Structure 1
């Protein structure tokens, strides 16, 4: 029996109230700590240990510009969080994240926006990058230094990493949750340690090895700043914060969604952003400017070497980073497995009936991750594919922001945030008959939507008012504008030719391939929608099989 498939029953529902204390324990969901860990583990991967030096190079060593860009990145992320907060508090508390928000914003043609989103989420929502990094740093900690991104030893360890995570989620879901809870706290403590060491170094308590740290030279650099380089630096910073939306993907699994959305998620994001900023300051305090400019991809390695010496840093640091990667793989596979299942329930995927089983949705995530890990023949192609998953998300964010603007401008027509007392319920109720099925067949066979993947929540939502109106929230227009402009910038910039002589210009893959392929994945989702509709209609007319049209989830 697969414990992962225990159904979602609201702790406020009639069904839950009739359960014994022993039975109720089955339906205990993700706690506040677990939700915070979902966000922290995804946001804190390898990036904070490596990309700060690369971003510093793009800023050409200008500390004021460098710190300003990190602050700007934090403001953009918080703007996105507020937009997601408004969507989530005005819609059902259910799995799916952006799928639900897009469906509410663009209900017609029915199914199109869901198919577009599903292609981006399933095909590009893999864990290959952090699985590979886990293998690389674990082997390095034991004396094996990989010289290539196509090293099969590293890939094999990466495959073992994602396989173990998926197995844990399927076989021992509670232990999987406990593990990523631990790793979330562990990551925060590591960043706090770096900040503490930086503070001691700044106060003169710890002597830093040779070199003049960057921080004392907090004057603006007179070096001419390239607008393109500054733009790329901001791009890298925003990408390094990826993961702030992770809890929104699994709201059906959360014990107190309102608390998570209004307290836990903002707290997790704010804490992580502040930790990032003070970690950056610690790097600047300890590491000389020349080394910061030329440290490559592991600035944390130089930081720990300056404090503890070469031997300690060369062995302990890779293990710390590998554990950070493991936490990322655990929470991404957990969240994306649930999103895959939700997309299948809404009939957006090929073979949707099969993937309504959560175990199968988790295995789908495993398959895509392993494919991306082992298939690319060269390091350049591998890096291209791994980084590709970020870009289409910018177009999704643009659509979401435009959708929210439309809903707010047409609030009466769309019933968006108008009636304070009749807010649609975000609780999913199950009937007593469903519970009897659970008792009889066991949780592994319970799929409330297997019989009809075209289910809709709309009618039930209208009939379930909430007693409290405190969930109402409206994002200030300033933050909507910031997030929209930032994502337009992120979407357009990769199409601009890089300056000659830059690393991007020297890449074996032309600069325009990255945004073109990323956009093409979204277009492929639209093609799938129309091709599927045409085929169903053709098969029905020609052979009398199926139905004349594909049925999708109705708008929320």
Structure 2
């Protein structure tokens, strides 16, 4: 390590060559990095402002997080989870455990985000932590972002609830057509009309939060004050003796259910992905993320209790992804409850955030046509990154049978995610030992980080503990999602080896990064061949 690198990175004096950079000072970081910016890994500890400026305020950042967190998960997964684990007691316990694990993961993301205040999230953190083998961390994140960075699950829920609301038979063709239509519309709006997209997203985000609060009070009202249908307002929440009845304690089943819970908490680190655009990024990141976590924990637990109170357990188990629709119908009858409120659920799914990570991946040269994909032209919006996001989402909607794809998507997304969770958590502990000079405005509890490491290892091993029947719904082998996830990781490793090691060694060159600035002011890195 050079003498300069041995100095505390965020306490150095600014040299003449760094005259266009402003270092982070406390929580006040409305700072910019001008034309002197490089894409050096060490510069990740410096704040950076994109060409569009710091336009995300605290309320927008909160909606950015909470509208990603409260997505289709709470409206679709509780019925699937309780069917898998067998009992209401274990189902509720998994939501509590999932919240604890999410809090541990959030703490890791907060320490990284405050220490490395750049857009890109996990990509920036893994690059900074794991520098050897060279380009491996970047390649693995790029592979994950392209192959598994889809939002198909929200599109599928939108289609199912829309068809249910209009009492239209949910054929495979109609579900896929509606889902693809929504995906296309969202991509066009966010990629071509950036300001309009943010406004629509904020509006739908508040609707989503209001809908969840409304559902909690609706469940309480339906049981306490209304007498409707043959149940006469009776509570269906299991008694103490029935709370754990038919519980399946298989670790494989529990782990696959936990992946569905994790999906409902996914997005707590969403601000990390766009930190360049956030005003006062460090202060905003800490307060917004923690506030969103508390909000999600409270509403998720209350919503689950409302579901089990209003809808009979057998109907919950057979509801698939339509548990919220059954809840509304029982509370408000076949007209309002079956039409208007399921449409609100469909709109809330449509309001989920499109990821910007792919633009950051392209920005550093790890995708084909990187300059084109990284540019904010012609609409001053991340259209290129959204197109990369669009393609795998389209494929995962169109190819598998839509009746089975939702749960499978959540598990396939969740399994490789544990590999990255393990890498970031273990890497954070390593950085504390190796780089004590780094400024850490937020420091996670070591117990939380170690717990996250242990749980990641346990969840990675879980699919190889077979359930009683060795099968899942639809006859899919219980460990299929794990092998698909492992295949994605292996593909990333092979891609890196062929691209970085095999072909350059065969043709006699090495890859180096060359920094350039596009016409719109975006700084990108191009990987160029250097003859050895």
- One fold, TM greater than 0.5? yes
Written as runs of structure 1 = structure 2, the 5 A alignment for 1:92-107 is 93-107=117-131
Describe the shift of the 1:368–1:62 C-alpha distance in structure 2 as closer, same or farther (beyond 3 A).
closer
Question: 1:116·1:523 contact (CA, 8 Å) conserved in 2?
Answer: no
Deviation at 1:552, TM superposition (A): 8.4
Is structure 2 residue 358 aligned with structure 1 residue 344?
no
Q: C-alpha distance in 1, partners of 2:490/2:467?
A: 25
Is structure 2 residue 517 aligned with structure 1 residue 492?
no
The Cα offsets for residues 435-481 of structure 1, whole Å up to 9 and x where unpaired, read as: xxxxxxxxxxxxxxxxxxxxxxxxxxxxxxxxxxxx62221122113
Written as runs of structure 1 = structure 2, the 5 A alignment for 1:449-488 is 472-488=441-457
Deviation at 1:219, TM superposition (A): 4.5
After TM superposition, the score normalised by the length of structure 2 is 0.80
Aligned residue in 2 for 1:145: 169
Q: C-alpha distance in 2, partners of 1:552/1:131?
A: 38
Describe the shift of the 1:220–1:306 C-alpha distance in structure 2 as closer, same or farther (beyond 3 A).
closer
Deviates more, 1:481-490 or 1:74-83: 481-490
Describe the shift of the 1:532–1:313 C-alpha distance in structure 2 as closer, same or farther (beyond 3 A).
same
Question: 1:124·1:389 contact (CA, 8 Å) conserved in 2?
Answer: yes
Describe the shift of the 1:235–1:375 C-alpha distance in structure 2 as closer, same or farther (beyond 3 A).
closer
Q: C-alpha distance in 2, partners of 1:383/1:217?
A: 29
Is structure 2 residue 239 aligned with structure 1 residue 217?
yes
The Cα offsets for residues 349-377 of structure 1, whole Å up to 9 and x where unpaired, read as: 23333322232222221222222222346
Q: Paired residue for 1:114, among 115, 138, 145?
A: 138
Describe the shift of the 1:552–1:529 C-alpha distance in structure 2 as closer, same or farther (beyond 3 A).
farther
Aligned residue in 2 for 1:285: 309
- SS for the counterpart of 2:492 is helix
Q: Paired residue for 2:68, among 42, 61, 76?
A: 42
Written as runs of structure 1 = structure 2, the 5 A alignment for 1:91-490 is 91=116, 93-147=117-171, 151-201=172-222, 204-211=224-231, 212-215=234-237, 217-219=239-241, 221=243, 223=245, 225-228=247-250, 229-328=253-352, 331=353, 333=354, 335=355, 338-357=356-375, 358-376=382-400, 380=404, 384=408, 387-408=411-432, 410=433, 413-417=434-438, 423=439, 472-490=441-459
Describe the shift of the 1:221–1:376 C-alpha distance in structure 2 as closer, same or farther (beyond 3 A).
closer
Q: C-alpha distance in 2, partners of 1:106/1:25?
A: 28
Describe the shift of the 1:58–1:416 C-alpha distance in structure 2 as closer, same or farther (beyond 3 A).
farther
Describe the shift of the 1:307–1:404 C-alpha distance in structure 2 as closer, same or farther (beyond 3 A).
same
The Cα offsets for residues 6-63 of structure 1, whole Å up to 9 and x where unpaired, read as: xx998434979xxxxxxx9963511222222222222222221232223233443343
Across the two proteins, how many residue pairs are aligned to each other? Answer: 466
Aligned residue in 2 for 1:33: 59
Deviation at 1:205, TM superposition (A): 2.5
Aligned residue in 2 for 1:60: 86
Q: Supply the RMSD in Å over aligned alpha carbons.
A: 3.0
Structure 1: state its 5+ residue gaps. 1-7, 17-23, 418-422, 424-470, 542-546
Question: 1:39·1:269 contact (CA, 8 Å) conserved in 2?
Answer: no
Deviation at 1:499, TM superposition (A): 1.4
Q: C-alpha distance in 2, partners of 1:320/1:41?
A: 14
Deviates more, 1:487-496 or 1:377-386: 377-386
Deviation at 1:111, TM superposition (A): 0.7
Is structure 2 residue 31 aligned with structure 1 residue 12?
yes
Q: C-alpha distance in 2, partners of 1:395/1:538?
A: 29
The Cα offsets for residues 246-274 of structure 1, whole Å up to 9 and x where unpaired, read as: 22111112122123211011101210121
Aligned residue in 1 for 2:494: 527
Aligned residue in 2 for 1:441: none
After TM superposition, the score normalised by the length of structure 1 is 0.76
